[in-house]
Structure 1
Amino acid sequence: MKNFRFYICIIFLFSYAVKAQDTIQYNNPFSEARYHYFLKTILLFNEYLDTENGSYNTTQLRFLYPIGNKAWNLRFDLPLISANTTSVNKTSIGDVSAGISYIPYMENHNAIAVRARVVSNAASDPAFGSGKWVFIPTVFYGRYLKSKKYLWIASLEYQKSFAGDSNRNDINTTAFENVILWFFGKNWIGADAAFRYNNTAKGFQNNAFLEFGRKITPDNLVYIHPSVAFGGQKTYNYGLEVGILILF
């Protein structure tokens, strides 16, 4: 009888674990394709930024890899940067970064995730990097609205340099960001506002964007989003990003 109860408990716990894993993958704000934590993802995007001194173009490859029970996620970024300014006209590798995310809390309509990311001082040209090693902890809160027709994701991020070129400015920035996504059919529209305070420059470096995306196949998505910067210490005027996501 004791053995029978033991086996019943094991079966119950196993069933609960399977249910939890199903929940984390399919009924979670972070399971939406634009923010997919639970499938291996390749993101390739190109971002053009217009500044007061010229333009910068970043072509970036990002790889997301879920691990464990898929509540964990690894991220790697490789940027290729081109500049067309009065002082720089060239293309070079930027600062490579890596991070790990974890989802400690999840329900059908709510979820919390945390991420720790390190940006290396790896740029092959000083003009294309910060000259610093930067640690970036972030916490995310996701919530479905209006019967899962809309998705709201808020994030609070802190960027702090901890090593690197002593002649370059330290990085000490706090960012609070909110994005609302509206899903309809194979399409989505997003609106985002990010408020960043640069404690080194003693000013705001905010930006906002609209995003238009579409599933072109069940596993491939494309998006485009124009953006505009605002604030006393803004780093650019306007930008345009175009990307493709491959889920597998």
Structure 2
Amino acid sequence: MNDTVSPSRYQLAEIGALLAEPARAAMLLALIDGTARPAGELARAAGVGAATTSAHLKRLLEGGLLAVHAQGRHRYYRLASDEVSAMLEALALPRTRPVLPVAAGVDGPLRLARTCYRHLAGRLGVSLCEAMLARGYLHTVSDGLHLLPDGADALVAAGLDAIPVQDLLKLRGRGCLDWSERRLHIGGPLGVSLTDTLLNAGWLRRRAGSRALQPSSDGLRRFAALGVRLDNDG
């Protein structure tokens, strides 16, 4: 889909054809919550086999309704843009969608908070990234994520030391797709240094023999001051 030009009648007809197939519609509905999911989960949502799923995903990608995020050997599919999500809602598609597993076999502590290539992942990492984006503390640019001065001020006000926080302003981050939550957390050098800063400040503690991280009671209060909420996160 072209985000800047209204679709022609032919483009509109193509979109209609894409949505007219129940299996493709089921895949789109499974992604309308903003998550990114692998082909296997979308196949289960649509009730079709692997080969049919591949064909449908190819058409949805070519039609501009889906985008794909490659991470290592894995490929995750998501709606191509907010405009696509708005279009689906405007077409009054059902608000309910298939219930898909977030990630089978993920234990509670690992799902709550863990390290991912040395940066904070899990529900806490995703919630922190979303809160900082929503409050304008992070800026998304072509080369990744950057901490803004307002974000640095907010981190200091929440209780982090000013010196390491100022160093964070110099670093570039990237959105890293969280494998348990299927949303983005803060990766790259910014994510690594921010996680180190949170650990050094005692907001987080490492669990022995595990990648899981344990937020302290004080840390949870300070995360809340940044707008991080965990009570409704599954």
Larger Rg, first or second structure (1 or 2): 1
Which structure dedicates a bigger proportion of its chain to helix?
Answer: 2
Where on the TM-score scale, by shorter chain, does this alignment land: which range? Answer: under 0.3
Which structure dedicates a bigger proportion of its chain to strand?
Answer: 1
